[in-house]
Amino acid sequence: MVGGRARLRPHYEKDIVGPVERFDERKTAYSRADRREYAGPDEAIEVGLATKAAKRMRGFLREDFALNSAGRAIDTLVRKYAYSREDFPRRWAFKGEPLQVDNPVRMADEVKAVARWFGADLVGVCELDMRWVYSVWGDHNAKLGPDVQVGDPVVIPEGCRYAIAFAVEMDYEDVMRSPAVIPSTDLGYSKMAFTATSLAEYIRLLGYKAVPSGNDMALTIPICVDAGLGELSRSGMLITAEYGPRVRIAKVFTNLPLEPDEPVDLGVQAFCEVCKKCADHCPGKAITHGDKTADARMECNNSGVRKWQIDAQKCLAFWVKNGTAGCANCIRTCPWNKPPGWTHRLVRSGIKAAPSLDPLFVRVDDLLGYGRPKMNPTPGRRYRGSKR
């Protein structure tokens, strides 16, 4: 109960129509790309450098590719040394009894404040639902995982009943460049890695278990839904009230006693029924215009839950054709992706309060030209000369 009323249930509960098996990470598109079943990000970058960068095409310069990959540096280190691990090489080790936690509500507030201090823009807590934990390690994360082989079971340390889910914002101007190179994407991974690793270490130094995790170990979107960060959308991404889908998300598993947050109802499910802008503008035709279904659309889809099924192979195929290890047309065009401002906050409240007006909101969004691509300079150039 929250303040005398029943807690909200996550929106996906009414869409569960069959058993939800823990997902095998080997089935993901990234694992399949690592096994060379699909062309993937590595091939995409090769194509981009050999064609568009070689011709000095705007948005695809060698400098753009370099900036994007450089932004990933901390993520690469953290995957190798910190993600998915209970331990960390530290300057001093905790000795003695764990910090006594008498008030999980206050502890959750403290941990969320610390997460924000380390760089999270949104934070929530949930009880970990084991259905969202991968059953086994896949190719993509095992190659940098903690002494695991592909096919090894994913193990959550005993007692880690909670997940702290968080989101970091990606730069608005940068995302509007899509489908050109968007350096904020890979920088977002490094911000996730820095925040998750630091937060986990803080919790360990209080005497509790903590495992930082990026895209490894578990499906992050349903964990974020459970923790009240947003809702799953037609584009297959999390939509948050504050930034729409323009976020990167990660989590920390822990046994630190924490009061869970409540899931949210932003009105996304009804809005996505009528909107379809992401599907209209998906160059890879990976996003459906159809209805939610529990039937898998292709071999990377999970079963048991009705949702808008994404064709991840088609998405990756577009990346390769486009010559970038990524694309964000679905983020760029989503009406929930807006720069900060009170008018946008007002519209978001309207979406929740009056779903019958959703078609009007979508129409006005189109008329005002939101979501159109704009070749903004990369942050590397925007920040030039701004400081001594």
Q: Which residues bind ligand SF4 (CB under 6 A)?
A: 233-235, 271-272, 275-278, 282-284, 286-287, 315, 318, 327, 329-330, 333-336
CA 179 to each of CA 139, 190, 360: distance values in angstroms, whole numbers, following the listed order: 27, 21, 27
How many DSSP H helices and E strands does the chain contain? Answer: 16, 6
List of long-range contacts for 60-63, beta carbons under 8 Å, 24+ apart: 60/180, 60/181, 60/323, 60/324, 61/181, 63/378, 63/380
Of 18 and 359, nearer to ligand SF4 (C-beta) is: 359
CB of 371 to ligand SF4, least distance (A): 8
CB of 370 to ligand SF4, least distance (A): 11
Nearest to 221 by CA among 140, 165, 282: 165
CB of 313 to ligand SF4, least distance (A): 10
CB of 174 to ligand SF4, least distance (A): 15
CB of 330 to ligand SF4, least distance (A): 3
CB of 39 to ligand SF4, least distance (A): 13
Of 283 and 350, nearer to ligand SF4 (C-beta) is: 283
Of 84 and 333, nearer to ligand SF4 (C-beta) is: 333
Confirm if 272 and 232 have CB atoms less than 8 A apart.
no
Q: 3-class DSSP state for residue 253? A: strand
Of 84 and 324, nearer to ligand SF4 (C-beta) is: 324
The residue number with the shortest CB distance to ligand SF4 is: 275
Q: Which residue has the tokens 């069959």?
A: 18
H or E element at residue 254? strand 247-254
Of 124 and 179, nearer to ligand SF4 (C-beta) is: 179
Distance of alpha carbon 128 from alpha carbon 37, whole angstroms = 32
Q: What's the one-letter identity of residue 336?
A: W
Of 52 and 277, nearer to ligand SF4 (C-beta) is: 277
